[in-house]
Structure 1
Amino acid sequence: MADVYRNRTRCRWSVRISGRVVGHRLGVVLIGVAFRASEVARLRCLRAGARDVHAWASGELADLPRPPGARRLRYRLTESGFRIEGRVVVRAAAAWFEADGTAWCEGGE
């Protein structure tokens, strides 16, 4: 199981396994994805202007091409949770984290 989050300093996706960062990649694919975000930490970042890791995706690393039907996944500090078209999602069958910093998923619920 791996965690993936955007490292804004390196402009890469950080990959964390068992709590330890094992690398930084331009692109990453996860399957069996759970999206996690700490609401308390999000509010603290808003209040203090701090930057910390409080939102990430967990799943199994994979090597799959992004299908044409994948939908854009977004996370914003000003809104709670990960969202697809304004709707909060907590799970997805697969997620693609692209080199340009965008994220896409398939089967979000």
Structure 2
Amino acid sequence: MTQVYWHTRRKLWSLRESGRVVEHRAEVRLWNVTLVVRPAAVARIRLRGQREVCGWAEGRLMDDVPEDELPDRGIARVMFRPFERAEFYHGISGRALVGCQLLMLDRGGEAWGWMCRWGSATSAASRPTSTACRRRPSSTSGSSNPTIAAATERCSRGSSAGTPAAPTGLG
């Protein structure tokens, strides 16, 4: 599993494996994502007023999926602002998130999630829950990837599979 967080000085996503940063990228796509927050680190940055890595996304890299095969519905913004809240949350509803099926991290430090799971930073067990599906900006519809195509179809029919969320600096 790869851990990814936003590097505030480099303005790039840092990819960490086995505790070591192995690469920096402008864009990253992760599959089967867990959103991790370290409460002690959040408390420390609030006390000191200094930034450090206290939250990240952990999942499998998806380097081989072209942009036009990514879902274009059910995408939502995923946010993490540790000085305000000690958890990842949905950019529109404000509900706490613990993971997503797919997380797209863009050049601007924003995160967009698809089929996100609600919960709190302290709850390990979470369940998929749906929010209104909407189109992801600048993407074409349809996918030749069977998993993505099936889930996108469920979203367009209004299933309770969950809606992705968009990112904002994870770290």
Structure 1 stretches of 4+ with a deviation exceeding 2 A read 63-69
Q: Percent identical across equivalent pairs?
A: 34
Counterpart of 2:81, as a letter, is R
Distance 2:31 2:11 in 1: 22
TM-score, structure 1 length as denominator? Answer: 0.94
Query: What's 2:94 paired with?
Result: 86
Larger Rg: 2
Residue deviations 1:23-61, cap 9 Å, x none? 100000000000000112112101111111110000000
From 73, 78, 90, the equivalent of 2:78 is 73
Instruction: Point out where structure 1 has 5 or more consecutive residues left out of the alignment.
Output: none
Deviation of residue 67 (structure 1)?
Answer: 2.7
Higher helix share: 2
Q: Give the alignment's Cα RMSD to 1 decimal.
A: 1.1
TM-score where L is the length of structure 2: 0.61
Q: Give distance in 1, aligned partners of 2:71 and 2:39.
A: 31
Pick the structure with more strand per residue: 1
Q: What amino acid does structure 2 have at the position aligned with 1:83?
A: Y
Number of residue equivalences: 109
- Distance in structure 1 (CA, Å) of the matches to 2:40 and 2:20: 22
